[in-house]
Amino acid sequence: MQFVNIVTLLTLAVVLHSPCLFAGDSKTSCPTCRTIVDNFVKGLDKTAKKNFGGGNTAWEERALSKYETSEIRLVEILENLCDSSSFECNHMVEEHEEQFENWWFKKKDTYPDLLKWFCIDNIEVCCPRGTFGPDCNACVGGSERPCHNNGDCDGDGTRRGDGKCRCNKGYKGDFCLECDDGYFNKERNDTFSLCTECHESCQTCSGPTNKDCNECKSGWVQDDEKSCNDIDECANETSPCKENQYCHNKEGSFSCKACDAACTSCTGEGPEKCTGCSSGYTEEDGKCTDINECSLPDKSCLRVNEDCVNSKGSFKCVCSQGFEDKDGACIQTEETEENMEDEDSSETVSPDNVHEDL
């Protein structure tokens, strides 16, 4: 007795948690139903010429007309309504198989619109376009042109939603008739509104040009003729950028870009635009040029058996070929094969090893 009770409880728990129970009311049940109907129509198309040899004999015509309305054809169509992986679809078809048979044999001449007959009127998971919710009420703005064609009605065509509008870009308000900031009404009456983008210089506007701004966007300023024009942020005596950056003006804004590595400060791109040279560089012919520390009269590398390697903005001291660094001195390398290989690879001077101090 105890055992039976547990089994009953478990079964009940499974049933209660099964998605089957909620399939009729899920968010996706209307789209699923529409897919089923679409695939039904495709199935009708696909089977339209089947079992028909292409000839024209009386026998074939009779066979065709018999197949046209046959259960065989219906089963063929029903088998291809859903992807095998779609639980909701397969469940919906299984659950309403009798309805499909009913429509196929008795209703399809009177109610040729399967979507309306099945999804809307019969299993009640969808509504006609432009309507929403359990009772298929008209969307905001009316079912003909929901949201005045400037937005989406919540729940449109389903048994869900609240019918309110989510306006397209550029539109606002409950009815999507008003223009959003940055847009203006090109055309407007009680039921129609066309909003067009303002000139890029306007925050709000009444027309398409920079003379039609009600208010300039930030980065733009109104001149004497009431037009909004770009502010050249870089024209100021003091740059809005950091010491090692230069200012680049843009329409409606500006940006700061890094100076060349040769400069500590600059007025533009490249070593020619430096106003101060980085260490390791010196001014030469109007631009900051790398100092070759290896050709200075005072030697930069002082140890015995070492070479000076110049690099951009710096230099490096490396032991000469056949010598290696040991305890701060360049010692002759022992001639083993392994060491020969090591020497080969140490010849490459990578910029990572470059001296930072000079």
Can you read off the two tokens belonging to residue 237? 């005596």
Main-chain phi, psi angles of 5, to 5 degrees = -60, -45
In this chain, which stretch among 13-21, 110-118, 246-254, 324-332 interacts with Ca ion, using CB under 5 A?
A: 246-254
Among 40, 100, 103, 254, binds Ca ion (CB under 5 A): 254
Nearer to Ca ion, 123 or 213 (CB): 213
CA 175 to chain centre: 28
Can you read off the two tokens belonging to residue 173? 């308000």
In this chain, which stretch among 176-184, 185-193, 206-214, 245-253 interacts with Ca ion, using CB under 5 A?
A: 245-253
Interaction between residue 249 and Ca ion (CB under 5 A): yes
Among 88, 154, 212, 230, binds Ca ion (CB under 5 A): 230
Interaction between residue 222 and Ca ion (CB under 5 A): no
In this chain, which stretch among 83-91, 125-133, 224-232, 345-353 interacts with Ca ion, using CB under 5 A?
A: 224-232
Query: What is the closest distance, in whole angstroms, from the C-beta atom of residue 223 to Ca ion in the complex?
Result: 14
* Longest CA pairwise span in the chain (Å): 113
Restricting to residues 297-336, name those near Ca ion by CB under 5 A. none
Instruction: Name the residue among 114, 169, 121, 161 with its Cα closest to residue 137.
Output: 161
Instruction: Name the residue among 257, 237, 262 with its Cα closest to residue 245.
Output: 257
Nearer to Ca ion, 29 or 210 (CB): 210
In this chain, which stretch among 32-40, 176-184, 242-250, 312-320 interacts with Ca ion, using CB under 5 A?
A: 242-250
The count of residues interacting with Ca ion (CB under 5 A) is 3
Query: What is the closest distance, in whole angstroms, from the C-beta atom of residue 247 to Ca ion in the complex?
Result: 10
In this chain, which stretch among 112-120, 241-249, 281-289, 325-333 interacts with Ca ion, using CB under 5 A?
A: 241-249
Instruction: Name the residue among 174, 184, 114, 117 with its Cα closest to residue 146.
Output: 174
Sign of the C-alpha dihedral computed for residues 126, 132, 138 and 144 taken in this order: negative
Helical spans, DSSP H, in 21-143: 29-46, 58-68, 71-79, 87-95, 97-102, 114
d(CA 147, CA 140): 6
Instruction: Name the residue among 145, 149, 217 with its Cα closest to residue 181.
Output: 217
Query: What is the closest distance, in whole angstroms, from the C-beta atom of residue 249 to Ca ion in the complex?
Result: 5
In this chain, which stretch among 19-27, 65-73, 141-149, 226-234 interacts with Ca ion, using CB under 5 A?
A: 226-234
Query: What is the closest distance, in whole angstroms, from the C-beta atom of residue 358 to Ca ion in the complex?
Result: 40
Nearer to Ca ion, 133 or 252 (CB): 252
Main-chain phi, psi angles of 282, to 5 degrees = -140, 155
d(CA 334, CA 341): 12
Interaction between residue 220 and Ca ion (CB under 5 A): no
Report yes or no: 28 and 58 within 8 Å, Cβ to Cβ.
Answer: no
Nearer to Ca ion, 218 or 350 (CB): 218
Report yes or no: 133 and 25 within 8 Å, Cβ to Cβ.
Answer: no
Query: What is the closest distance, in whole angstroms, from the C-beta atom of residue 270 to Ca ion in the complex?
Result: 22
Main-chain phi, psi angles of 75, to 5 degrees = -60, -40
In this chain, which stretch among 36-44, 52-60, 143-151, 230-238 interacts with Ca ion, using CB under 5 A?
A: 230-238
Query: What is the closest distance, in whole angstroms, from the C-beta atom of residue 82 to Ca ion in the complex?
Result: 58
Query: What is the closest distance, in whole angstroms, from the C-beta atom of residue 236 to Ca ion in the complex?
Result: 11
Nearer to Ca ion, 85 or 218 (CB): 218
Using alpha carbons only, how large is the chain's radius of gyration in Å? 40
d(CA 111, CA 104): 10
Residues of this chain that bind Ca ion (CB under 5 A) = 230, 249, 254
